Amino acid sequence: MCSSIQSVHCIHAYYDIYVWINRFDYRFNERKYRVKKKNFAGLLPVLVFLVLYLGLGIIFEYVLKIPMGFYNIPIIVAFLVGILVACIQNRELTFDEKLQIMANGLADKNIITMLLIFLTAGVFVGVVGRSSAESVAYCMLEIIPPKFAVAVLFIVSCFISTAMGTSVGTISLITPIAVSVADASGFSMPLCVASVIGGAMFGDNLSFISDTTIAACNGQGCAMKDKFKENFWIAFPAALVTFVIIIFLSLRADVSGIIIHDYNLIQVIPYVLVLVGGIIGFNVFVVLIMGIVSGAVIMLAMGQVTPMGLITQMGSGVSGMFETCMVAILVSAMCALIREYGGFDALLYAIKKIFKGKKGGQLGMGLLVGTMDIATANNTVAIVMANPIAKEMAESYGITPRKAASLLDTFSCVFQGIIPYGAQMLVAISTVSELGYGISAFQILPNLFYPGMLLISSLIWIYLIPNKNS
């Protein structure tokens, strides 16, 4: 037993041992402490990517006047530069250690799942082709009175985009029909084109096989059906108000003429199966395989494609997803290093300083992905980039994964639908131009009702409608 004086010395000795052990632990587990340290310099790779991509995009699009200038920039190269910057940073880690950190970032079930869904969705789109989507449009235009042709364009675009999972694909398919409607009926060309873009963004937001849905759900770790349910009550009211506005404008217009074209509704069956299966809650791979098999059988039975042609279309559909897959891989690798350097901790700290409480956190998450979208002009890339910090925000603010996924997808679609240099706007303008008509983004923007309504609906659901489970 120690005397009282000895006891004091014993306590000091134990304390010295404790301090030494902790210093030893820090030395050999330095990485653990470094992760928790706020470091705004850790965000430098993202800043370099954004400056490089956005800067070159502006030069290509508006200085050099290159058509689709933003989309002539190799985004993969821009991300590689960002990763290079990340690898140069932090001399305390060896290059091998950085490679291991990036590998750990990729070794995530959600990343692998996302890549496989991307590729399978590509096969589906390759199988069903263009004619199925056009059949829906021409059928409805034949049935519905010409007075409501623009409303039909909006509804058809909503359906096709939801079924196909691509807003750009929908716009490229339906815009020629919109031009025909405007030419034959007397409706304003900007209104017709804007209605197609709005409907396309509706489907992009809700579709089970949309790149944005896949990225948001897998990034936040939620089921697609849960995200759909969360999203539907935000998107549907916005679509309904947009529909009413279009009807009101249509009733005031003096129109004539009708669009008649051959169609075959049997080709719509694969889309319907995918939609119904997704809503019911079937596994996304099961849903996509159902769509692929049914689409292949129908296309072959109707003589729309040969067996060899079908295989070629499958390959083309998969190839169309390669860039998206590579972006997801590179972003995951870069974000792993940024997290290691404390960049995400710094960003989360800054966000929490500005946005207070759960509702503020939801708005902050939406503006985060919106800012990324403005910078990249690609809502899928914006979601993939925002996913890691959004996941940490969701945990910090107590936001459920389905709500986080819904916010990311919704706000990315809001911004993507209105930026003049976005693929959706540029494809629409380019398609109209190829058909011999002139139209600008600034003529379309005043008629883009859906993105504005979607933003208003989102803010209402964040601030005015209580949801204890979100």
State which residues form the domain around 168.
109-463
DSSP symbol at 124: H
Which pLDDT score, from 0 to 100, does residue 104 have? 87
- Tracing tokens 């390669």 back to the chain, one arrives at 322
Instruction: Classify residue 421: in a domain, yes or no.
Output: yes
Domain membership flag for residue 182: yes
Q: Name the domain count of the chain.
A: 1
Do residues 130 and 142 make contact, with C-beta atoms less than 8 angstroms apart? no
Q: How far is CA 310 from CA 74, 128, 385, in A?
A: 29, 9, 34
Do residues 298 and 266 make contact, with C-beta atoms less than 8 angstroms apart?
yes
Q: Is residue 289 a part of any domain in this protein? A: yes
Rounded to 5 degrees, what angle do the CA atoms 165, 168, 174 make?
A: 95
- pTM greater than the 0.85 cutoff: no
- In three-state secondary structure terms, 377 is coil
- Asked, for residue 214, whether it belongs to a domain, the answer is yes
How much is the pLDDT for 20? Answer: 44
DSSP per residue, 88-125: HS-TTS-HHHHHHHHHHHH--HHHHHHHHHHHHHHHHH
Tell me, yes or no, whether 321 lies in a domain: yes
Indicate whether 450 belongs to any domain.
yes
DSSP 263-322: --GGGGHHHHHHHHHHHHT--HHHHHHHHHHHHHHHHHHTTSS-HHHHHHHHHHHHHTTH
- For the stretch 76-128, pLDDT in tens is 888 899 899 999 988 888 899 999 999 988 877 777 877 887 788 788 878 87
Tell me if 128 is assigned to some domain: yes
Quick one: pLDDT at residue 365? Answer: 92
Q: Is residue 26 part of a domain?
A: no
The Cα 137–Cα 141 span in angstroms is 6
- pLDDT attached to residue 17: 44
Task: Output the pLDDT for position 399.
Answer: 92
CA distances from 246 to 253, 415, 445, 449 (A): 11, 21, 14, 9
Those residues whose C-beta lies under 8 Å from the C-beta of residue 181, and which sit 6 or more positions away, are: 141, 149, 150, 153, 187, 192, 259
Q: Which residues of the chain have pLDDT under 50?
A: 1-15, 17-36
Give the three-class secondary structure for 186. coil
pLDDT at 92: 86
Q: What's the pLDDT score for residue 79?
A: 85
